[in-house]
Amino acid sequence: MLRRALRLGLGRGLLGRGLGTWRGDSTLDWDGKVSDIKKKIQSVLPGGAWNPLYDTSHLPPEHSDVVIVGGGVLGLSVAYWLKRLEKRRGAIQVLVVERDYTYSQASTGLSVGGIRQQFSLPENIQLSLFSVDFLRNINEYLAVVDDPPLDLQFNPSGYLLLASEKGAAIMENNVKVQRQEGAKVCLMSPEQLRNKFPWINTEGVALASYGLEDEGWFDPWCLLQGLRRKVQSMGVLFCHGEVTRFISSSNRMETASGEEVTLKRIHEVHVKMDRSLEYQPVECAIVINAAGAWSGQIAELAGIGKGPPGTLQGTKLPVEPRKRRRNQTQGTWKWTMASSRTRCGPIWPR
């Protein structure tokens, strides 16, 4: 039957000519030929509506070295550095799975796009300092041949944190750590605060810290699109779907102290396709949870938090979606209350 279809669509002349064969002054219309062949194959096979050449380009691959759950800035950044650090192009196959292709509910799209160094942990401060350099030199990292340069509209403006008498000592210690790591942060008394920001009511404020350099805000949507464009050029694969299940295997091992432990390793991910009941299994070696505010749900799918109490497997990942509010005053400023601290900085126009 297939031979009959081939005889109908592929004559000796067509089979005998290569892809680069010329007919007079024009090349063969291969798209048209393929379309004709598909129609003729369908006409001779049982069930004419069935398409034996069904397009599966929207499906994820059957195998991928790394599966990243979440295609926001965090997931795309992980994909970027994995591909950038590979020893040869194509050495690592990376798949990014994102369920919300519009990013309407993603943390990236809803973010103000602020960046600061005023943290208490040295690791967070160092990450932020590197991120500022990354943003300032974005086109050295994310440039794509023949595409226009990115403009993140980075606007330097320091974060202002306020502390009551109770939290003043903690703020002083935090600023000391920040300065040791290279951040440019100053402490301000209530009087200095009033002089610099006369519209702020300093009642109940004992101390303030203000970022002098490398803090501000930018366009997070532009960063998202720039990262996505770059990683696609590096060979990262994308899939619009939702991870619904992990398949894992268990191995028993003995620690140096003689204690026997059970280790679980995920070797397959089930991806439910967008607007469909079907799912696609993807075999993998590594799964990276980059689902942002929904990371806790993904961790629970992997069994994290469901093990014996007091163990790592029994510890729930304390991440869940939470509504945040921005209050605007004087047209271009925002207040965000977080426990005993207040963050103040310009609002990003949306």
Same domain, 180 and 263: no
Same domain, 241 and 181: no
d(CA 241, CA 181): 41
The answer to whether the predicted template modeling score (pTM) of the entire model surpasses 0.85 is no
Same domain, 128 and 264: no
Q: What is the mean pLDDT of the chain?
A: 83
**Quick one: which of 125, 213, 210 has its CA closest to 159?**
210
Structural domain that includes position 16:
2-44
For residue 10, which amino acid is it? L
Same domain, 315 and 328: no
The answer to whether the Cα torsion of 174, 175, 178, 179 is positive or negative is negative
Tell me if 188 is assigned to some domain.
Answer: yes
CA 270 to chain centre: 19
Question: Can you tell me the mean pLDDT for 234-238?
Answer: 95
Same domain, 176 and 241: no
Same domain, 186 and 236: no
pLDDT band of residue 109 (cuts 50, 70, 90) is confident
pLDDT digits (tens, 9 = 90+) for 140-176: 999 999 999 999 999 999 999 999 999 999 999 999 9
Q: How many residues does the chain have?
A: 350
Same domain, 308 and 266: yes
Structure tokens that stand for 324 in this block? 């945040």
Tell me if 50 is assigned to some domain.
Answer: no
Tell me if 64 is assigned to some domain.
Answer: yes
CB atoms within 10 A of CB 275: 7
Same domain, 121 and 208: yes
d(CA 176, CA 171): 9
Structure tokens that stand for 21 in this block? 């064969």
Q: Which residue has the higher pLDDT, 159 or 307?
A: 159
Tell me if 51 is assigned to some domain.
Answer: no
Q: Which residue has the higher pLDDT, 104 or 137?
A: 137
Q: Quote the percentage of the chain above a pLDDT of 70.
A: 80
Same domain, 197 and 74: no
Tell me if 310 is assigned to some domain.
Answer: yes
Residue 170, exposed/middle/buried by CB under 10 A (0-12, 13-18, 19+)? middle
The enclosing domain of 281 has a CATH number of: 3.50.50.60
pLDDT digits (tens, 9 = 90+) for 55-95: 677 789 999 999 999 999 999 999 999 999 998 888 999 99
* Radius of gyration in angstroms for the set of CA atoms belonging to the chain, rounded to a whole number: 28
Tell me if 243 is assigned to some domain.
Answer: yes
Distances (CA, A) of 17 to 32, 34, 67, 211: 16, 15, 42, 69
Tell me if 35 is assigned to some domain.
Answer: yes
Tell me if 329 is assigned to some domain.
Answer: yes
Question: Can you tell me the mean pLDDT for 201-229?
Answer: 95
Same domain, 7 and 152: no
Same domain, 211 and 126: yes
Same domain, 201 and 333: yes
d(CA 292, CA 32): 45
Tally of domains within the chain = 3
pLDDT at 265 over 80: yes
Highest mean pLDDT among 52-56, 194-198, 254-258: 194-198
